[in-house]
Structure 1
Amino acid sequence: MNEVNFNLLVHYVSTFGIKLLVGLVILVVGMRLSTFLSNRLVAMLNRKEGLDEMLVHFFGSLARYSIIAVTVITVLNQIGVQTASLLAVLASAGLAIGLALQGTLSNIASGVMLIFFRPFRTGQYIEVAGKAGTVKNVSLFTTELATPDNVQIILPNSEVWSGSIVNYSYHETRRVDFLLGISYSDNIDKAFSVINGVIGGDKRIHAEPAPQVVVSELANSSVNITVRVWVVSGDYWGVKFDLTKQFKEALDANGLSIPFPQQDVHLIRSA
């Protein structure tokens, strides 16, 4: 290799090396900047009253990925890749890319729809795609839930949006149902009085709509009484657990039995 070729090689290596080094610096700075600005945006939006937390985190995620995309394009330009030509190639191969990324694009589109229509908010208890939990976050790609025993569930946005959504926290009030059984020999009116006494002693139960206490079924072993009361959604499980215990204790204290399943067997002697 003659001296001229060697000098050219050194020139190209040093020039590309400098571009590569600058590109790496831009990449590192851009990645750090994306995290910093995303966190700053979230903090700023959190200071605004009335802005839903789910919306805040979505915008934070959107800002982060946007900065990362700009950073990658800048790095490619820096090391000499013609991004205009690259974009033209990608555009011409759009169908293949779309098919390859349809799952990812579907998650992004579903995330946008979830934010736009807002069928649920952060902190609400929902059931989607066969999973139930409290909504923690909605990002560009996924929805995060936490089960009552604090297990994390991460679902693709496309699964959340494409299926039915059951929102247990959407309305301010919920109805709590109880099914109580008494013996056929017990006095029904007395049972009603005892049950209404328990209901009246709990201030969490709403007067309107009025509580219902009705005989709903004459079952094989018991007279079944259905009790329906309305409470604030946040009190649902507390009332459910407390009144189940109180109904049992009150019925026992007043001599009203809750029968076990039973059958009467008649023996007939033949002559």
Structure 2
Amino acid sequence: MLAWIIPIVSILGGFIAGWIFEKIFLQKLQSLLSKPKIPHSEVFVNSLKGVIKIWLIIAGFYGALVSLHTSQFITNPIFLIGQNGLIATFLYFFTLVIARLGSSFIRIWSQKTPGVSASLLANLTKIIILVFGILTILQAIGISITPILATLGIGGLAVALAFQDTLSNLFSGLYLIISQQVRTGDYIKLETGQEGYVIDITWRNTVVRELQNNLVLIPNSKLASAIFTNYHLPAKDVGVRVNVSVSYQSDLEQIEEVTLQVARELKAEYPQLYADFDPVIFYENFGDFSINFVVVFRANEFLEQRAAKHQFIKRLHRRYREVGIEIPYPSHNVYMPNTNHRNAKPQILSDE
């Protein structure tokens, strides 16, 4: 009976030490690391949560196992099986800590790198670390991994065929991230008409949030082969074109001066307009009832062009009315001959 006291005490000691470390020392460590403002100290603390407790419990079980083996309560084969099981468990949780650290630093890097999706890269990093960790555990407990690797190599083709769509989406997502054709935060428009902001690129789908706040899930393989417009590449600022018409009686020099003045005032007062671009005006053609031209300025972002165009049209219309510039209505002159009198002149009917 006394021989069981040490194993029981060892196991209980492991549980108690794990609880004390989790509730007291880990919180103290977190507060100590936060005071000097050590960069990303929370990543290390979060990665250790729940793991140190498991390690201490494993240590308690290992002490009990050694005590029982020393007292010859268990045979050598049982001791080796228990020892390998505890080693495998310890190494698994060590691998889990490394996987957590790896995925967390990938997320931190993606936050500092504009347009990089953290979801796919972080999960892929965690999976790779866990796979290598499991292979290392098997090798550590005496299981040869060579036959396993050979089996994986042979079965790889069957797995690839079975998960063809999944693997296609996975590699398409990696291609989109590496090529930087689509980045999180970009505003895109597909050939099918869907448009919105890219909020995430997962291992299977690219998630797009529409202006109506709906989510559109696009398989990565579809997006990689689709025709789409990225309004944030090569730069976020976008040209804004406003078509204007004035009557033939207008002074074109005055038109240009007044229009550019309104556009420049809007640029000075409206922060959504691109400050480094001076508005320009181009006369385009002689229309049926008006002279047509276009005003060009630039907005900082695709959606801001709508509000900028809205403000410009309101201000330009008000300024034209103040200075007496006419924006003509569509009009047609119809010539109708008078058949009652041979020498009568044609009548002119104006339709405005």
Matched, 1:221 2:289: yes
Deviation at residue 177 of structure 1 after TM alignment: 0.8
Identity score, percent: 20
Give 1:248's aligned amino acid.
Answer: H
Aligned match of 1:137 in 200, 203, 216?
200
Give 1:255's aligned amino acid.
Answer: G
Aligned match of 2:253 in 189, 192, 200?
189
Out of 99-108 and 178-187, give the one that drifted further: 99-108
SS for the counterpart of 2:293 is strand
SS for the counterpart of 1:250 is helix
Q: Counterparts in 2 of 1:165-204, with a 5 A limit?
A: 165-170=228-233, 171-202=235-266, 203=268, 204=271
Deviation at residue 198 of structure 1 after TM alignment: 0.4
SS for the counterpart of 1:112 is helix
**What corresponds to 1:149 in structure 2?**
212
Deviation at residue 137 of structure 1 after TM alignment: 0.1
**TM-score normalised to structure 2 length:** 0.55
Change (3 A) 1:264 1:137: same
Matched, 1:51 2:120: no
Change (3 A) 1:39 1:99: same
SS for the counterpart of 1:121 is coil
**Contact 2:169–2:220 (Cα < 8 Å) also in 1:** yes
Q: Distance in 2 between matches of 1:117 and 1:258?
A: 48
Q: Counterparts in 2 of 1:244-259, with a 5 A limit?
A: 244-259=313-328
Gaps of 5+ in 2: 1-88, 136-146, 342-352
Deviation at residue 184 of structure 1 after TM alignment: 2.1
Deviation at residue 46 of structure 1 after TM alignment: 4.1
Higher relative contact order (CA 8 A, sep 6+): 1
SS for the counterpart of 2:184 is coil
**Contact 2:200–2:208 (Cα < 8 Å) also in 1:** yes
Q: Distance in 2 between matches of 1:187 and 1:268?
A: 35
Aligned length: 232
Deviation at residue 43 of structure 1 after TM alignment: 4.9
- Report Cα offsets for 1:128-157 as digits up to 9, x if no partner: 353211010001111001112211111000
Q: Distance in 2 between matches of 1:129 and 1:42?
A: 34
Q: Distance in 2 between matches of 1:199 and 1:190?
A: 14
Give 1:141's aligned amino acid.
Answer: R
Out of 109-118 and 229-238, give the one that drifted further: 229-238
- Report Cα offsets for 1:79-126 as digits up to 9, x if no partner: xxxxx79x84993683x6544533222111101111211213211211
Gaps of 5+ in 1: 1-25, 74-83
Structure possessing the higher radius of gyration over alpha carbons: 2
Q: Distance in 1 between matches of 2:202 and 2:173?
A: 7
Aligned match of 1:233 in 301, 325, 330?
301
**TM-score normalised to structure 1 length:** 0.69
Q: Give the alignment's Cα RMSD to 1 decimal.
A: 3.7
Aligned match of 1:159 in 207, 222, 227?
222
